[in-house]
Each structure stands twice: as C-alpha cells, then as structure tokens.
C-alpha cells in the first residue's frame, strides 16, 4: 500500500499506539502527557512529506519524533518558573534586586553551555555523592 493511503496509516497507528505510548511514558513519567505526545507525533508524521513507507522505518521515525517531543516538553518546562514569587512585603528590595541580578548572570552563563554540559552541571548540583576527604 502507498504510505499516503489513509488505511495504511490507520493500520500503523493501530499497531503502534500502545507500544509508542509506553515508550513516551518512560520518557515523561505521565501517562496522559505520553498519550498527547504520541498523538502529536502521529499528526506530525502524517503531515510530513518525508514519512517512511516501510514499517521498520516508520517505527524508527515515530520513536524519534516522540523522543524529540519529549525533549521539547522538558525544555519548555525548564524555562517555566517552578517556585512562586516571594511576597514583596517580606523581602528587602535591595536583596531582591541582587538575587535577580545573580539569577540573570547564572541563566546567561548556563545558556552558553551545551545540553550535555547543562546536564552535567545539573547532576553535579542535585546528585552530590560524598567526596573522599582530602
């Protein structure tokens, strides 16, 4: 069958939705989000002029798309502030200005690093193992 045949694509969706959702769930640890990512991946594949016509290549392309969408999710989430803003009445304005300046300097420095280097910085700050004395 031709890969642009809707019946062929529907058979691929039916065959791959469950394993693809399991794969996405492993990446994002949220089943509802995993389902959304898989739906988006199938939609992007259908719209793509480069959609593979063989099942093995189709599956590889699907999983790569899911991986990319998962990375995009984490990138967007990392840019979103996670802690609530401090109560302005409690914090000294000079301290707040200094804290924001430091945040901007650190953010600018981290943005110059590559993905692997940012991951290394993150892991070194959050997963500290005891260091031998010396």
Q: Do 71 and 101 belong together in one domain? A: no
Are 12 and 41 members of one domain? Answer: yes
Tell whether 40 is covered by a domain: yes
- 105 & 128 share domain: yes
**1 domain-assigned:** no
pLDDT tens by residue, 13-61 = 999 999 999 999 998 889 999 999 999 999 999 998 888 888 889 999 9
pLDDT digit string (tens) for 16-26?
999 999 999 99
Quick one: 54 and 37 in the same domain? yes
Does any domain span residue 10? yes
Domain count across the chain: 2
Separation between Cα atoms, residue 56 and residue 12, nearest integer Å = 11
Phi, psi of 53 (to 5 degrees): -105, -15
Give the pLDDT confidence of 65-95 residue by residue, as tens digits.
999 999 999 888 887 666 666 565 666 766 7
pTM for this model (two decimals): 0.57
| 126 and 70 housed in the same domain | no
């Amino acid at each position: 069958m031709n890969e642009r045949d809707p019946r062929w694509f529907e058979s691929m969706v039916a065959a791959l939705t469950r394993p693809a959702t399991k794969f996405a769930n492993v990446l994002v640890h949220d089943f509802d989000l995993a389902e959304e990512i898989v739906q988006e991946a199938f939609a992007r594949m259908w719209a793509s002029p480069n959609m593979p016509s063989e099942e093995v290549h189709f599956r590889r392309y699907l999983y790569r798309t899911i991986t990319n969408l998962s990375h995009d999710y984490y990138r967007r989430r990392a840019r979103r502030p996670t802690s609530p803003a401090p109560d302005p009445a409690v914090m000294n304005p000079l301290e707040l200005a200094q804290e924001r300046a430091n945040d901007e300097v650190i953010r600018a420095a981290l943005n110059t690093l590559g993905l692997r280097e940012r991951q290394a910085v993150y892991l070194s700050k959050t997963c500290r193992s005891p260091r031998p004395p010396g």
